[in-house]
C-alpha cells in the first residue's frame, strides 16, 4: 500500500494543447479515489501520468514518498486494469493471471499460490483452464482484476474498467470492486465517466473538466454542496434543474424567468442577503420539488412521464422552462395534467450567471 501525491502535475502536448493543468491532490494509503468527468476532460491522461505511460510536463509525482517522475512504469510498483481487459487470447485464465509473475521469475509454487488466492477471491476457481474467448464480459473483467491483484502492487490504477459491460454486469462488478477494496485495503485510483460509478465506489471523488480539477470531496458532500454549476449538474440522475432569472423580493420571494414567468419561491427559502435583484442561476434537484398546497408554490404542466421502478421521473413545463421532478412510484400523473409544486426551502443552490460559481446561502 502507498500514499500517492500529485503536486501541480501538468501535461502539455507539442502542439500546445494542455491535457492536464496543474493537478494537485493526495490519495491516502488504502483509499479508493475516483477521477470522474466527461470524455476528453483529462482524467485518463492523468491516470497514465501516474502509471508512467504518459510523460509529465511539469510538477511532481510521489508514490510511497518516492519521486517517480522519471521512474519506468515497471519500477513504480503499480498495477493497471484497462478498459479493454488486455488479456492474452492464447493463454488460459491461470496463465493470464500468473504471466506477470512468471516474467519476474517467481518460483512456480509461489505463482500457483498467488493465482489460487486471486481465483478464490474473484470466484474464478472453475474457470482457470478456459481461454478469454470462452468467458463472459464480467468474467474477463474479473480476470483482468485478478491479474493486477496477483502482483500485490502498492497502487491499483483502474481505467474505465466497466465501460464495456452491460448495465447489470456493471452493477455486479461495482459491488465486486468495492468488496475487493475492502478486503485488500489497497490504494486505488479509479477513472470513470459514469457518475453512478463515481458516487457508489469513491471514498472521495475528483471532478474534472477541460483538464482542470473542479472539486474534490466525498460523494455526498459533492452532491449536497457543489462548488459550481458544472459539478452540480454532472453529479445526479436525473440532473439538477437549473433556472436562470432575476431574484425578486415582493411580498415573498420570486424568480422572474426570461419569458416573463414569475416562479414563487418558499417564504423561508435559504437565500443569503444581497442576492435579491440580481440575475442568478437557481439549481434544485428533482427530489426537492415537492407537492404543494393550493396557496403556495407554482403550477407545472406534465409533459412526459418515465416510470423507472423505484420512482417516477416527471418532465414538466413551467413557462418555457423544463423541469424534472422525482415522484413516488405509485404516482403516475397524466401528460397534460397540472401539478402544484414547491421547492424544498433548504435545498436551493445559487450560481453566478457568468462563471457558474456557487454563491453563499444564508
Burial of 89 (0-12, 13-18, 19+ CB in 10 A): exposed
CATH 2.40.50.140 in the chain, residues? 241-351
The three-state (H, E, C) secondary structure of 290-302, written as one string: EECCCCCCEEEEE
d(CA 258, CA 236): 26
Per-residue pLDDT tens over the stretch 126-156: 899 999 999 988 888 889 888 888 888 999 9
Q: What is the CA radius of gyration of the chain?
A: 25
CA distances for 71 relative to 50, 184, 265, angstroms: 10, 26, 57
Check: CB of residue 164 under 8 Å from CB of residue 83: yes
- Taking the C-alpha atoms of residue 28 and residue 163, their distance in angstroms, rounded to an integer, is 26
Q: If you average pLDDT over residues 297-303, what whole number do you get?
A: 95
The reported pLDDT for the residue numbered 238 is: 93
**How many of the other CB atoms lie within 10 Å of CB of 228?**
18
Write out pLDDT tens, residues 315-331.
Answer: 999 999 999 999 998 88
Lowest mean pLDDT of 212-221, 228-237, 353-362, name the range.
Answer: 353-362
The pTM for the full model equals: 0.91
Residue 1: predicted pLDDT: 63
Q: Encode pLDDT of 109-133 as tens digits.
A: 999 999 998 888 888 888 999 999 9
Whether the per-residue pLDDT at 163 is higher than 90: the answer is no
- pLDDT band of residue 272 (cuts 50, 70, 90) is confident
Provide the phi-psi class of 42: left if phi over 0, else alpha when psi is between -120 and 50, else beta: left
Distance CA 37, CA 280 (A): 25
How many Cβ atoms sit within 10 Å of the Cβ of residue 15? Answer: 5
> Could you read off the pLDDT of 223-238 as tens digits, one per residue?
999 999 999 999 999 9
Average pLDDT of the chain, as a whole number: 93
Architecture of the domain spanning 4-228: 3-Layer(aba) Sandwich (3.40)
pLDDT tens per residue across span 280-290:
999 999 999 99
Residue 362 has pLDDT above 80, yes or no: no
Q: What pLDDT score was predicted for residue 83?
A: 80
Q: Rounded to the nearest 5 degrees, what angle is found at the Cα of 218, between the Cα atoms of 214 and 221? A: 80
Burial category of 92 from C-beta neighbours within 10 Å (exposed 0-12, middle 13-18, buried 19 and up): middle
Closest CA to 214 of 226, 223, 203, 225: 226
Which ranges in the chain are annotated with CATH 3.40.50.300? 4-228
Give the 3-state secondary structure percentages of the chain, helix then strand then coil, rounded to 5: 25, 35, 40
Q: What is the pLDDT of residues 30-63, one digit of tens each?
A: 999 999 999 999 999 999 999 999 999 999 999 9
Bond prior to 238 in cis (omega within 30° of 0): yes
Q: How many CB atoms lie within 10 A of CB 296?
A: 13
pLDDT in tens, 93-106: 999 999 988 888 89
- What CA–CA distances, in Å, run from 273 to 12, 247, 278, 326, 355? 43, 12, 11, 30, 20
Check: CB of residue 244 under 8 Å from CB of residue 352.
no
Q: Taking Cα atoms as reference points, which of 155, 152, 131 lies closest to residue 143?
A: 131
What angle, rounded to 10 degrees, do the helices at 108-121 and 93-103 form?
130
Fold classification of 241-351 is OB fold (Dihydrolipoamide Acetyltransferase, E2P) (2.40.50)
Which of the four pLDDT bands, split at 50, 70 and 90, describes residue 294?
confident
Q: What is the pLDDT of residue 49?
A: 97
Q: How confident is the model at residue 361 (pLDDT cuts 50, 70, 90)?
A: confident
Amino acid at each position: 500500500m502507498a500514499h500517492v501525491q500529485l503536486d501541480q502535475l501538468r501535461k502539455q502536448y507539442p502542439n500546445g494543447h494542455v491535457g492536464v493543468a496543474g493537478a494537485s491532490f493526495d490519495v491516502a494509503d488504502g483509499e479508493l479515489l475516483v477521477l470522474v468527468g466527461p470524455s476528453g476532460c483529462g482524467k485518463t491522461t492523468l491516470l497514465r501520468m501516474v502509471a508512467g505511460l504518459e510523460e509529465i510536463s511539469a510538477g511532481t509525482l510521489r508514490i510511497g514518498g518516492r519521486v517517480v517522475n522519471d521512474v519506468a512504469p515497471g519500477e513504480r510498483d503499480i498495477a493497471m486494469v484497462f478498459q479493454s481487459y488486455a488479456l492474452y487470447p492464447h493463454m488460459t485464465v491461470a496463465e493470464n493471471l500468473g504471466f506477470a509473475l512468471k516474467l519476474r521469475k517467481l518460483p512456480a509454487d509461489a505463482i500457483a499460490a498467488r493465482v489460487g488466492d486471486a481465483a478464490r477471491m474473484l470466484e474464478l476457481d472453475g474457470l482457470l483452464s478456459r481461454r478469454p474467448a470462452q468467458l463472459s464480459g464480467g468474467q474477463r473483467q474479473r480476470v483482468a482484476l485478478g491479474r493486477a491483484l496477483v502482483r500485490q502492487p502498492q497502487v491499483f490504477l483502474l481505467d474505465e474498467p466497466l465501460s464495456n459491460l452491460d448495465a447489470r454486469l456493471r452493477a455486479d462488478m461495482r459491488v465486486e470492486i468495492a468488496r475487493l477494496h475492502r478486503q485488500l485495503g489497497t490504494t486505488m485510483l479509479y477513472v470513470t465517466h459514469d457518475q453512478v460509478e463515481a458516487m457508489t465506489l469513491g471514498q472521495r471523488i475528483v471532478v474534472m473538466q477541460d483538464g482542470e480539477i473542479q472539486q474534490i470531496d466525498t460523494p455526498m458532500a459533492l452532491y449536497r454542496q457543489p462548488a459550481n454549476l458544472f459539478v452540480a449538474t454532472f453529479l445526479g440522475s436525473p440532473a439538477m434543474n437549473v433556472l436562470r432569472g432575476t431574484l425578486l423580493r415582493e411580498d415573498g420571494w420570486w424568480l422572474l424567468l426570461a419569458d416573463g414567468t414569475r416562479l414563487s419561491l418558499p417564504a423561508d427559502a435559504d437565500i443569503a442577503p444581497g442576492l435579491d435583484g440580481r440575475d442568478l442561476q437557481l439549481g434544485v434537484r428533482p427530489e426537492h420539488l415537492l407537492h404543494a398546497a393550493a396557496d403556495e408554490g407554482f403550477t407545472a404542466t406534465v409533459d412526459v412521464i418515465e416510470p423507472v421502478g423505484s420512482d417516477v421521473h416527471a418532465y414538466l413545463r413551467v413557462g418555457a422552462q423544463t423541469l424534472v421532478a422525482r415522484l413516488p412510484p405509485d404516482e403516475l400523473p397524466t401528460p397534460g395534467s397540472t401539478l402544484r409544486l414547491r421547492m424544498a426551502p433548504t435545498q436551493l443552490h445559487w450560481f453566478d450567471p457568468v462563471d457558474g460559481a456557487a454563491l453563499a446561502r444564508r
